[in-house]
Amino acid sequence: MTRTNLTDELAAVLLLTGALWLVCSKEKTESPEIDLLRYKAFFFSVLLNSGFLLFSILFIFGIGFINIMIINLFSQLAFYLLIFRFLMKRQD
């Protein structure tokens, strides 16, 4: 029987849960313009994350690629949050 430390798994679950909570939360005042910003942020985050993944597939090998795939689990949500907040600030 293998004994492992659950810290990594717990950190990943908490990080994903927190990021999903932020992504799914509403603004104080929701409007059709904010919906449009959400769609734009989602579209650009998918493009950015796909480009990041394509670059990784082509140029990173071995254990480094495994690390990139772990980062890729969280990068989609992070890109979405960053782009959405940037678009919200730019709109104001």
For the chain, give every domain's residue range: 31-91
pLDDT digits (tens, 9 = 90+) for 15-56: 999 999 999 888 888 889 999 999 999 999 999 999 999 999
Q: How many CB atoms lie within 10 A of CB 45?
A: 21
Could you write out the DSSP letters of every residue in 29-92?
S--HHHHHHHHHHHHHHHHHHHHHHHHHHHH--THHHHHHHHHHHHHHHHHHHHHHHHHHHHH-
pLDDT of residue 1: 67
pLDDT of residue 41: 97
Q: Which residue has the higher pLDDT, 77 or 29?
A: 77
